[in-house]
Amino acid sequence: MYILNKEKNELILVDESTFKALGLRERKDLQEWIAKTPSVLGEELLIIQKEFDGFDDTNERLDLLALDKRGNVVVIENKLDDSGKDTVWQVLKYASYCSQLTIPQIKDIFGQYLRKTGKTTSPEELLAEFFEGEDYEEKLTSGLTSQRIIMVSGDFRKEVTSTVLWLLTYDLKIQCFKTSITQLKDNIVFDLEQIIPMKEASDYTIKVAQKKRDAIATEKELLARHTKRESFWAQFINEINKHNDMCSNISPSKDNWIGIAMGMTGVSINLVITQSNVRVEVYINRGSKDENKRVFNYFFSKKAEITQAFGGDLIWEPMEDNVTSRIRYQLDGVNPFNPEDTTKINKFLIDGAERIQKAFERPILESKTKKPK
355 closest CA partner among 289, 303, 309 = 309
Can you give the pLDDT at residue 200? 52
Q: Taking 90 as the threshold, does the pLDDT of residue 363 lie above it?
A: yes
> Do you find a cis peptide bond into 197, omega within 30 degrees of 0?
yes
pLDDT band at 4 (very low <50, low <70, confident <90, very high): confident
- Classify the C-alpha dihedral 20-26-29-33 as positive or negative: positive
- Quick check: 264 and 364 in contact, CB under 8 A? yes
Can you give the pLDDT at residue 205? 53
- Quick check: 49 and 112 in contact, CB under 8 A? yes
- Quick check: 71 and 130 in contact, CB under 8 A? no
- Residue 346 DSSP SS3: helix
Q: What whole-number distance in Å separates Cα of residue 82 and Cα of residue 63?
A: 16
Long-range pairs of 268-274 with CB within 8 A, sequence gap ≥ 24: 269/353, 269/356, 269/357, 270/326, 271/236, 271/349, 271/353, 273/229, 273/232, 273/336, 273/345, 274/124, 274/128, 274/135, 274/137, 274/336
pTM: 0.59
Mean pLDDT confidence for 36-59: 90
Q: Taking 80 as the threshold, does the pLDDT of residue 182 lie above it?
A: yes
Can you give the pLDDT at residue 277? 92
Question: What share of residues in the chain are helix, strand, coil (percent, to 5)?
Answer: 40, 25, 35
With a CB cutoff of 8 Å and minimum separation 6, the contacts of 94 are: 60, 62, 75, 77, 149
326 closest CA partner among 361, 355, 286 = 286
State the alpha helices, DSSP H only, in 217-302.
219-240, 289-301
Across the chain, mean pLDDT equals 89
Can you give the pLDDT at residue 203? 57
Give the tens place of pLDDT for each residue, 185-234.
888 889 999 999 876 555 545 555 555 555 555 666 777 788 899 999 99
Q: Taking 90 as the threshold, does the pLDDT of residue 57 lie above it?
A: no
- Quick check: 178 and 155 in contact, CB under 8 A? yes
pLDDT band at 54 (very low <50, low <70, confident <90, very high): confident
pLDDT band at 371 (very low <50, low <70, confident <90, very high): low
- Poorest-pLDDT segment among 44-48, 127-131, 198-202, 255-259: 198-202
Question: CA neighbours within 13 Å on the CB side: how many for 27?
Answer: 6
Can you give the pLDDT at residue 320? 85
Domains, the chain: 2-217 (3.40.1350.10), 220-367 (3.30.1460)
Mean pLDDT confidence for 84-98: 92
